[in-house]
Each structure stands twice: as C-alpha cells, then as structure tokens.
A and B are shown apart, each in its own frame.
Chain A
Amino acid sequence: MRNVLTIVRKELHSYFVSPVAYVVLTGFLLLGGWFFFNLLSRFNLLLRIYTQLQQGAADQLNLNDFVISPLMHNLSIILVILVPMITMRAYAEEKKDGTYELLLTSPLRAGEIVLGKFFACFLFICIMIGMTGVYPLVLMVFGNPEIGVMLASYLGLLLLATAFAAVGLLTSSFTENQIIAAVSALVATLLLYIIGWPADTAGDILGPVLRYLSATEHFAEMVKGVVDTRDLVYFMSLILLSLFLTQRSVESLRWR
C-alpha cells in the first residue's frame, strides 16, 4: 500500500509539473464551457418561443433533458479523445526513458505499479470532471434542475472516463511509443462507444450483446438518472479487466 501511494504521488507530480495537465484541463474546460453556453442559450430561446406559443407549454421544458443530458453526452465524447492523451505516457515514457528498468529492478510488485498509476490517473480525472461542477452550480442558482439526476449523470461520466483510462493504461503498457499507445486507446474506447450502433438490426442474439458491450448504453441510462447495478457492474468489470491485463503485461517482462 505504501508503495502504491509513493507511485501515486510521483505520477501526480509529473502530471502537474509538465504542461500536459494544464493543456488537457484547459482544453476540456474550454470545450465544456462552449457546449454549456450553447445549450443554455438554446434552452433560453426555446423557453421564450414556448411561452409565446401557449400558456403552460414552457412546463414541458426542463433543464435536465435540455441542458444536462446533452452536455454529459458531449463531455463524454471529449473524454474519448482526451483520456488517451492523459494515459499514453504512463508506461510508454518510462520504457523510452529507461526509468522502467528502475521500477522493475526495485522491490515493487507489478500490481503496485499498476494500481499506483491507475489511482493517480483516477484522481486526475476526478479533478478534471470536478471542475465542470460549475455548470450544475450555475443551473442550481438560476433554475431548479433535479439534483439526483445530476449526481447520477456525474457518477456515469466519472465511471466512463475511469474505464477509458484503464483501457488507455493497458495500451500504454504494451508499447514504448506514446503515439501508438494513444491511437490504440482512442480506437479501443471509440469502439466501446459506438459498438452498440448496429444493435437494432443485428438480430435477437447479437443485438442485446452489442448493446450490453456498448459503453454509451450504460452511460445513457445513468444520465437519465437510473443507477442500475447492471451498469455499475459493466463499468467495474471493464476497469478490473483492464487493470488485470495491465498487471499481466507489466509482469510479462519477468517471465517472457
């Protein structure tokens, strides 16, 4: 456990001492802010039109469906692209710089290295998503969104990003080339994102399977405010499977 913490601290240190963290955070907040601004002004416009049309029509509009939900889906797409940028260096850079030799010849277990890197990445993602918390706060000050739904959406976003990070760490552990690590993570997470698309036409057996594999399906449920164990199990299994494979990949150097 002590070793895991040591690695977490070192990893967080290198995130924030290099420009990577700041570029990623700024980019994420800039794009997120742009989405939020546009969704909100569209909502305003709709509100004005509906009130002019007939009395009480504006009640059909609510902040959750028209602002929070599309915002969450937009943010999830940015995360597909940004998370691989955060995770790509995790192992690839250590291999390239020769510091991997230091880690592997130290009395550390492969699992400790893997968990340390994962938790550091998880904390970074928490910071990243936490900073978008301003948007719901603004909504709460000027409107009345459903808090439960918002919390469920945020849990969904966090789980989604964490699962993507676990996949990204796995691909980084395979290579010493950061570009390869990032591209394969991007392809893998994007595939998880869109794998459910043919589900409706894929037949009775394959259809539900594809739908279950799709990260978006589970994420969409949570954005609706439904926190089902099925979805939690999906994300947790994805995370644990990736971590397990990463551990095997790091350890493989010792028995290859």
Chain B
Amino acid sequence: MIEVQNLTKRYGDLTAVSEVSFRVESGQILGFLGPNGSGKTTTMRVITGFMPATTGTVKVAGFDIFDDSFEARKRIGYLPEAPPLYNDMVVTAYLRFVARIKGMARAAIPDALDRVLNRCGLTDVADRVTGYLSKGYRQRVGLAQAIIHNPDVLVLDEPTVGLDPQQIIGIRNLIKELAGEHTVILSTHILPEVVQVCEKVVIISAGRVVVEDMIENLTQGQTLEDVFLHAIAQEDSGEIVESATAIEEASE
C-alpha cells in the first residue's frame, strides 16, 4: 500500500533523510520510530506530498506521490505534528471544509461528519470554535480531519503527544479500530503504544533505516526498548568509528 524506495531528502547541505526504504502492506499499522531529529517528520512530509524528495520514490496505493500526486493525495489522511486547525472556525464548519477540499461529494459530507464526530468523541464540542478547545480535543479534531474522507492511507505524526492517559487510551483504541480498513503509519515516542497497536516497526536514526521488522520477531526475549536503544547505539557507534578512521586517515 505504501512503498518508500531509496528516499533521500536534503535541505541545502543538510541531509535529513538518506536512502530510506520500507513497505507497509494494506491494512497494516506501522510504528515509525526514531529519536528526535532523526528524519521522521521529513519522511512523512514526503509521503504525504507536502514536499518532494531530493531523490527516490514514494508510492501510495499504487500512485507515485510526485508524478501522480493528485490521485495519491486523494487517498491520504494526514495528521501533522501540530493539528492543522483554523482557530477561528467552528469544529463542524472546519471538518466540512476539509471534506470539500479532499474532494468529497457534497451529498456524502453530512454522514461522514456524523461518523467522525462520533468516532473521535467530538459530539459535545461540535459547535465550539477550535481555537478555544483543549489540547486533547484539538488533537481529536486533527484526527477527525485526517479520516473524514475515509482515506486508504493514514499518516499520523505523534498523535498522542501531550495528552492525558485517558485520552491516550482513547486515541490508541481509535487507531486500532482504524486498522484493517486503513493502512496506518504511526510515528510516536511511546514504545508500549507501538507494542500494543502496531504490527510492524521501522526505526530510523540519523536519517537511515536501522530496523525494519514485524513486531513479534523483534520482541522475542527482549523488550522494544532494548531493540530501540540497541539500534540507535549501533548507528551512533558506527558514526564514531567512521569519524575515528577519518581522523586516523587525516593524521597519517
């Protein structure tokens, strides 16, 4: 469903993501992990068509995000790190606006609106202005916005950050429910969440993929934390070794 191949993204001299490849099968939930600044958000921004890759390709539901951008974007729901809300709009007006720009038929919008309001627990705040909502509700409106047009692919960038435990459980259950009908990429720092929700894990560190495997293969006899720390430490020591050889070479 999602195919990332040799994706590299440079900002000027800085390489944010380098030769990243992974696949997500239809209906799967992928846990997308990595330390801060490792290139998760950049990768997601390329997958959703917000910015182009420097080199490499991304295919979503069979459509190339660069060449067939329009078709690919129709099939993606995206919740960026900060929910993209218009702070002066009422929740329902905002969701209706999103439904329209996602290309939904006018007749289908009222039902879709009811569906996401219920699903995301927003019925109580449906007529409130988004700018005055609490963080938890803003996050849920963000999620509602991502699923309103029933996309094949969902890209969620840290959807549970800053929420209280009850809200986290709520959103986690929601994401579990969404699996099967949607393919999900879920970026997060909460590892137990990944174990509970995801089937597959990709860990990136310093812009490279260091682990890509099914969760049951990874957690045999060790916790995901061990896997994560080990994977990142490897990458770090790799860099140290590289720079050490570079110094040796330079001094020779």
Contact = CB atoms under 8 A, between A and B. Distances in A.
B84 A99 contact: yes
Contacts of A109: 70
Chain B interface SS verdict (over half): loop
B84 A97 contact: yes
B50 A253 contact: yes
A255 B49 CA distance: 10
Contact of A101 (B74, B78, B93, B100): B78
Given A14-B88, A97-B87, A99-B84, A106 B73 contact: yes
Contacts of B89: 10, 13-14, 17
Contacts of B145: 102
Contact of B76 (A3, A18, A105): A105
Interface residues of A, number: 26
B52 A105 contact: no
A104 interface: yes
Contacts of A254: 49, 51-52, 69
Nearest to A255: B52
A232 B89 CA distance: 38
A44 interface: no
Interface residues of B, number: 31
A164 B20 CA distance: 45
A113 B45 CA distance: 19
B50 A99 contact: no
B48 A105 contact: yes
Interface of A: 2-3, 6-7, 10, 13-14, 17-18, 97-109, 253-256
28 contacts: A3-B100, A3-B101, A6-B97, A6-B100, A13-B88, A14-B88, A17-B88, A97-B84, A98-B81, A98-B83, A98-B84, A99-B84, A100-B84, A101-B48, A101-B84, A102-B80, A102-B101, A105-B48, A105-B50, A105-B73, A105-B76, A105-B78, A106-B101, A107-B70, A107-B71, A107-B74, A107-B103, A253-B51
Given A101-B45, A107-B70, 8 more contacts: A10-B89, A13-B89, A13-B93, A97-B82, A99-B84, A101-B50, A101-B80, A102-B80
